[in-house]
Chain A
């Protein structure tokens, strides 16, 4: 839960969207993103790729967790913690941001 608290507020209600403009290509089962402004490459696997793809339109953390728990055999609380950590990481890299 520590990671969740770091994000502050009622995280499950926070809405997220994509950050930097990226082009995405599937490479050997991973989703490779190229940040078109910064020029950096990123590789996302499995659930991380699902989250980034879902953020094509703004989504709440709750909606993201629901989508992932429907697809993967993962316990909801664990999934929520993981999504919070992932979103924080994506935000640091400029790939996701809280929706305005």
Chain B
């Protein structure tokens, strides 16, 4: 006997979820190795670049900047001023922003391809906007998109600039133009509902996100060798809490007051590979069963995608600000440990909410659109389009909420 859903799934092409190779060690550990290497070969540009990159990733901006400035004085290499610009921006002072502009201009000069030129121009535009040079910033970001129309950072900042100066219709027109040209990354699809909502077209905003059609929830089965998903989660939680890459706070991400593990699956991890395979199977089966292209998001589906994940662990005051996942097509969360007071609670504490950020659309459209809350529980996997704005709420409890968030990214991103 075949249900309609089974028949549809049989007819759809099988979606393949690929896994990233596990890292040999965490960035913190890599930093220790590279620091020792630079001690042995202090003149090696490549080793110093790696060390600066590790330091940048770990938010140790001062030391990273010192190394990058020295490297930049010694020779021409696009990577150096490009990273220097980003590191200077992270210190968030006027003097550093001006330094970031100089570094970005140098990166533009040193770019070896249109892709590199686009990245450098996007950095330049970001810095120019920060010091209110709006016309110069707009030109840099527009030039970045001319060099690479797929540049998500440049597109995001250009759209936010349009919103900030009241050019909502222009932002909507540009987003629709890109969709018409087959460019359907999460930033473009994320701008559409924002623009519709700002224009008072709330139902079109809902339709553009497509949460009713595309939200999927399922409790995962235990991996082979485990009696229950609860038992598996207990041990997985211990593995994550003891992870060598765990760190509190990270610059430039949506998480606030939170512990993060950027690369939870290391070569020596025992349980994360099992979770990866559970997600691989569950996501592959779900996407394979989706109906053929019905909207721009589904038209962006590829035959396969790469699973990229990270872990977010929150104490009572931890939460995530409104965000989308710009590198994903499909995103999700797997809940490893959700305290009972969240599962059985009634308020938003510890929940994930889907809506539109009031800081972009304004309070009226934010309220009119509303926020849909989903209450997590241990073992639950949620899947949603990467362009759907979402946030989480501080749970205010004395236990930790542990989650593995993930993107399914098209191959061209990785």
Contact = CB atoms under 8 A, between A and B. Distances in A.
Contacts of A25: 32-33, 36
B20 interface: no
Nearest to A32: B33
Interface stretch (A1-9, A36-44, A46-54, A89-97): A36-44
A39 B29 CA distance: 16
Contact of A34 (B34, B267, B268): B34
B40 A41 contact: no
B46 A28 contact: no
A70 interface: no
Which secondary structure dominates where chain A touches chain B? strand
A13 interface: no
B29 A23 contact: no
A73 interface: no
Given A32-B24, A32-B25, A36-B41, A23 B33 contact: yes
A43 B36 contact: no
Given A32-B24, A36-B41, A39-B46, A27 B29 contact: yes
Contact of B47 (A24, A27, A36): A36
A24 B33 CA distance: 7
Nearest to B29: A27
Contacts of B36: 23-25, 34
Contacts of B244: 27-28
Interface residues of A, number: 12
Nearest to A28: B244
A36 B25 contact: no
Interface string B23-53: 0110001101110110111001011001000
Which secondary structure dominates where chain B touches chain A? helix
Interface residues on B, range: 10 to 19
B267 A36 contact: no
Nearest to B25: A27
B29 A28 contact: yes
Given A23-B40, A28-B268, A34 B29 contact: no
Contacts of B25: 27-28, 32, 41, 43
A77 to B, nearest CB: 30
Contact of A41 (B24, B41, B46): B24
B37 A27 contact: no
B238 to A, nearest CB: 16
A36 B37 CA distance: 7
Contacts of A39: 46, 50
A41 B29 CA distance: 12
A34 B37 CA distance: 7
A92 B46 CA distance: 24
Contacts of A41: 24-25, 30, 33
Nearest to B33: A25
Nearest to B38: A23
A89 to B, nearest CB: 16
A27 B37 CA distance: 14
Contacts of B50: 39
A43 B267 contact: yes
A34 B36 CA distance: 9
Contacts of A32: 24-25, 29, 33
A48 to B, nearest CB: 14
A4 B43 CA distance: 41
A43 B40 contact: no
Given A23-B40, A32-B25, 17 more contacts: A23-B33, A23-B37, A27-B25, A27-B32, A27-B33, A27-B244, A28-B25, A30-B268, A32-B24, A32-B29, A36-B37, A36-B47, A39-B46, A39-B50, A41-B25, A41-B30, A43-B24
Closest 6 CB pairs of A and B: A23-B37, A27-B29, A25-B33, A23-B36, A34-B37, A23-B40
26 contacts: A23-B33, A23-B36, A23-B37, A24-B36, A25-B36, A27-B25, A27-B29, A27-B32, A27-B244, A28-B29, A28-B268, A32-B24, A32-B25, A32-B33, A34-B33, A34-B34, A34-B36, A34-B37, A36-B37, A36-B40, A36-B44, A39-B50, A41-B24, A41-B33, A43-B25, A43-B267
